[in-house]
Amino acid sequence: MSGPKVTIGIPTRNRAALLERALQSALAQEGVEVEVVVSDNASTDGTPALCEAMAAADGRLKVQRHDVDIGAERNFRSVLDAASGSSGLTSSSRARDAHSPPVLTSP
């Protein structure tokens, strides 16, 4: 079996309140195989626990956890480095980027 067709990368830090909706949206994409990669940049809120729970429930979710703050640019690069899809996009855990309906489809 080949890898996913699309990787959705979500770099985050201390966004537990918004991250669940963003992850649900990313995992709800229809008609295309996806993996979701979260790079958690040393969050001190509930982000790590949320990521662990959601990854345990859905094998398409990969979580990169950084114990120390590596900065936004390196956190973004961490998402790209962990991606295995043949194409990809990045999103965020900000409310405006958490799309309710699926936004990726295949013809």
What is the model's pLDDT at position 89?
74
CB 100 within 8 A of CB 25: yes
Is 70 exceeded by the pLDDT of residue 14?
yes
What is the model's pLDDT at position 30?
86
What is the model's pLDDT at position 86?
85
Q: How far apart are CA 33 and CA 104, in angstroms?
A: 10
pLDDT tens per residue across span 47-104 = 999 999 999 999 999 999 999 999 999 999 999 999 998 887 776 554 444 444 444 4
Question: Nearest 10 degrees: CA dihedral of 50, 53, 22, 106?
Answer: 160
Strand partners, 62: 37
